[in-house]
Structure 1
Amino acid sequence: MECVFGLVGDGFTIVAADSSAVHSILVHKSNEDKIMVLDTHKLVAASGEPGDRVQFTEYIQKNVALYQFRNGIPLTTAAAANFTRGELATALRKNPYSVNVLLAGYDKETGPSLYYIDYIATLHKVEKGAFGYGSYFSLSMMDRHYHSGMSVEEAIDLVDKCIVEIRSRLVVAPPNFVIKIVDKDGAREVAWRQSIKDTGAVPV
């Protein structure tokens, strides 16, 4: 019951992911961070088979760091997205990764951006996107409430709405979520409402 979603606001991109590590009917842990920091201004949120997800995101992270080490400049978000897409496409003909990725970043020249990359190497630049069973509800919530140029407070409120909807609709809903934001000041984690975290209740 994985849930990964994100959106682009006014000068930032925000992504959220559940933090449950499950296999079949078992929950192995509930504090798994599925949003990896690629560098100071890039995030990659991934869903899919746990082994593929961890191995592939670490592989992308190390190659992004290697490029910066060799060339002295970091990859742009668009370049990192295209590199990620290329690696998925190459693996698709050999030993494919069962992993879906939302890549978020901020560049001085172009501002915030969000890229949708699925397991068959489809790449799209989007304003909002989601993967997993939670996407059925988070996408509908974002279709209803999202607008371009959202403030940070509006975006966090919309993310909270998506979390409430996911937790109230899914039969087996993830109890915990991680939310991270990237803007001109870099990538960092933000908190979701304590009332939602503690009770899981749907506010009236």
Structure 2
Amino acid sequence: MDVILGIKLRDCVIIATSKAATRGISVLRADDDKTRQLSEHSLMAFTGESGDTVQFAEYIQANIQLYDIRENYELSPSAIASFTRNELAKSLRSRKPYQVNVLIGGYDTVKKETKLNWLDYLGTNIELPYAAHGYAAFYTTSLLDRHYREDLNTEEGLELLKLCVKELETRMPVDFKGLLVKIIDNDGVRVVDF
């Protein structure tokens, strides 16, 4: 029942995740954060089996931070997505593969551009202008196809996200307890009051 959305804009990336943590038909928490900050300018949103998601996200976060400490160099969002894809692909060949779908958004401080990568549990990695996992993909993809433009600024991106939320609230039979929205830009990662 998770909602994971990402929109790449001209100057930032917007990542939105549902606040509800569910198990079956029960809502366990109404303030869950399904994201992990991987570096100063990159963020990972995840969905999937509850144990796998947290364990995998913390594993990726720890390895990215370890690389940053050892090399004194922040990995680009593309490099982080490549590392994450490699870890998902390796786990697929193990006895207990991770059942995790991921969005990685970030701002490349060297190239001065935004990045949004869509990864699934099979190790597929693709860079997209907008992406969704979970039930959000069923209801918002056509809306994003229709209204997305490459030159959107932050305010216009948040308005597009509001259209997506309205569609989700109308169509989804479950209350996902609202969205936690984070923006990644040149200044880093910040939470937006949405």
Tell me the TM-score range normalised by the shorter chain. Answer: over 0.9
Which residue number in structure 2 is paired with residue 129 of structure 1?
A: 131
**Partners of 1:167 and 1:175 within 8 A in 2:** no
How far off its partner does 1:3 sit?
Answer: 0.8
CA offsets 1:86-127 (integer angstroms, 9 cap, x no match): 000000011211110000010123311000110000000111
Q: Which residue of 1 aligns with 2:43?
A: 43
1:2 CA drift (Å): 1.1
- Two-structure CA RMSD over aligned residues (Å): 0.9
* Correspondence for 1:101: 102
1:1-204 aligned at under 5 Å gives the runs 1-94=1-94, 95-110=96-111, 111-192=113-194
How far 1:173 sits from its partner (Å)? Answer: 3.1
CA distance in 1, matches of 2:50, 2:166: 25
The Cα shift of 1:57 comes to 0.6
**Separation in 2, partners of 1:16, 1:145:** 17
TM-score of the superposition, structure 2-length normalised?
A: 0.96
SS in 1 for 2:160: helix
| Aligned AA (1:92) | L
Superposed CA offset, 1:51-91 (max 9, x none): 11111011100000000111110111111000000000000
Q: How far, CA to CA, are the matches of 1:43 and 1:191 in structure 2? A: 17
1:134 alignment partner, SS class: helix
Aligned length: 192
Asked if the contact 1:116/1:124 (under 8 Å) is kept, the reply is: yes
8 A Cα contact 1:22 1:29, kept in partner: yes
Q: Is the contact between residue 46 and residue 53 of structure 1 (CA under 8 Å) also seen in structure 2?
A: yes
Identical residues among aligned pairs (%):
39
The one-letter code sitting in structure 2 at the alignment partner of 1:139 is T
**Where does structure 2 lack aligned partners over 5 or more consecutive residues?**
none
Moved over 6 A (4+): none
Secondary structure of 1:58's aligned partner = helix
